[in-house]
Copies of this chain bind each other. A is one copy, B any other.
Amino acid sequence: MTHERGRPRCFDPDTALDSALEVFWRHGFQAASLAELTAAMGLSKPSLYAAFGDKETLYLKALERYVALQTAQHIAIFDTEPDVRHALEKFLRTMATMLADPTRPCGCLVVNGIADCGMASTPPAIELALHKAVQGSEARLYRQFVQAQHDGQLAQNIRTEDLAAFFTSLLAGLGILAKSGAKRAKLDAVINAAMSAWPSPPR
């Protein structure tokens, strides 16, 4: 009456998936070779195949994990900071810190993946998942803005969906800027300029 019957596996699936995420983050779906993936995850090709399926499904699982982490971070910030403008700015600064962190893969997994779409033979399922990730991120911002509007923090005439699209676009731009070698200071300057597009409070 145990859950493990045959030979136990020599690796932890969660940490292995984290390693896979790191590799995909750094190299993208196409350019991440099975050789590099197995080396980073510390397992052999057959083990990888048995545990995670082929490269495509492994990428989808890594993406899912990435999105979950980002979402958690987003929610944590917006739940802590009641003022939506402050929360948004804090969120943007946090993202900038991640994007320009030299100890982590550069840029955003989703943005990099989107840019890769259509280039190689990116599987349709991956393209779809990436588009959903962008839409999800935008929808999250949108909901925060609508809530803020209900709370009286945003004037009623503000087009919240446009505001959400703008800041989503900004995040993508920051990701690209970071990949083009921009330092944290430059990302902050961009955020400063962007925040000045925030509508003046209702009175």
A131 B181 Cβ-Cβ under 8 A: yes
* Interface SS of chain A: helix
User: CB of A21 within 8 A of chain B?
Assistant: no
Size of the A side of the interface (Cβ < 8 Å), in residues, is 50
Tell me how many chains of this kind the complex includes: 2
**Shortest CB distance A126–B (Å):** 13
| A119-B112, A119-B116, A173-B173 given; A180·B131 CB < 8 A | yes
A169 B177 Cβ-Cβ under 8 A: yes
B189 A115 Cβ-Cβ under 8 A: no
B168 A170 Cβ-Cβ under 8 A: no
CA distance A130 to B179 in the complex (A): 11
CA distance A148 to B44 in the complex (A): 61
Question: Which residues A7-44 have CB closer than 8 A to chain B?
Answer: 26-28, 30-31
Cβ-neighbour of A176 out of B114, B162, B182 (below 8 A): B114
